[in-house]
Amino acid sequence: MEKLGCVLELMFGNILFGEQVGGHIVQKEQLEELNKLGLQCYVNNQAGDAIKYFKQALKVCPRADIYNNLGLVYLNDGDYAKAINSFKSALSVDASYLPSFYNLGVTFHYAKVYDVAAEIFEEILKSSDGLEKDIILSANNDLACALNRKGDVAQAIKILQAALVIDDKFVKAYANLGNIYCGKGMFEEAKAEFDKAIAIDDKCAAAYNGLGVIDVENGKFDSAEKFFDKALEVDRACTAAEVNKSILKKFREKQN
């Protein structure tokens, strides 16, 4: 059978915006209206219109938060080069603007430039004094994802375990630990982590998908299919479960 997948999950960036005039005299009402229209288009998956409005807003005032919003549209659209340029533009306006620095790391990860992604998350954690706990946890999680992709699995595990010392209810760390163990063929350890994730959040699609992968490895195909279905029930966007279910279905059809 084709190998089934457990995909480590990043803590994907959110659009963050606020007052950042930076000495410019702006037509504030026009600027905020353009930014608002861009956000509405982004939420409605109208990427082209969102880009248009954010670019118009940037002509009024080159604000870091609007560059960040523009970068996230490009990131969601898979245009990593333009996303990187937008986040870098935000940082050229305000070098301390954390959302864009963080989203830059996420973009490099999706672009498979894992070394750079890891360096960015490490830099964020080095200056973690004063950061909110959620940001610290997210940076640890995403650093672990980048390290795992680089092949530094042992360090990725240590980072996730360290995150759980900070917050033992951090569901994504349990799920990602399970995914790493699953990838190493350590299925008992993986199951324990997936079970912990579900005990905290019974809508953790990654954990249900992981349990399905384990059942496939153990030849429990009916149970595996139920886990993949459960993953898709709680999160229709869980592509790993959708792909795994399709692979399992094709395999079983060949067996009959």
Place of tokens 């909110």: 132
Q: How far is CA 69 from the centre of its chain?
A: 16
Judge whether residue 82 has pLDDT over 70: yes
The class that CATH gives domain 27-94 is: mainly alpha
Cα 248–190–212 angle (5° rounding)?
20
Helix axis angle, 153-166 to 133-150, nearest 10°: 170
What sign has the CA pseudo-torsion 172, 177, 178, 180? Answer: positive
Place of tokens 């070098």: 95
Q: Where in the chain are the domains? A: 27-94, 112-167
Average pLDDT for the chain: 88
Instruction: Decide: 166 and 182 in contact? Cβ < 8 Å.
Output: no
Q: What is the pLDDT of residues 188-229, one digit of tens each?
A: 999 999 999 999 999 999 999 999 999 999 999 999 999 999
Share of the chain residues as helix, strand and coil, in percent rounded to the nearest 5: 75, 0, 25
pLDDT (0 to 100) of residue 127: 82
Place of tokens 């063929």: 185
pLDDT (0 to 100) of residue 136: 92
Q: From residue 174, give the alpha-carbon distance in Å to each of 5, 157, 219, 252.
A: 17, 10, 24, 30
pLDDT (0 to 100) of residue 251: 83
Spatial distance between the Cα atoms of 234 and 91, rounded to a whole number of angstroms: 37
How many helices (H) does the chain have, and how many strands (E)?
13, 0
pLDDT (0 to 100) of residue 31: 87
pLDDT (0 to 100) of residue 128: 74
Instruction: Decide: 90 and 97 in contact? Cβ < 8 Å.
Output: yes
In 3D space, the residue among 122, 238, 158 whose CA is nearest the CA of residue 114 turns out to be 122
- Exposed/middle/buried for residue 235 (C-beta within 10 Å: 0-12, 13-18, 19+): middle
Q: What is the pLDDT of residues 2-57, one digit of tens each?
A: 444 444 444 444 444 444 444 444 477 888 899 999 999 998 999 999 999 999 99
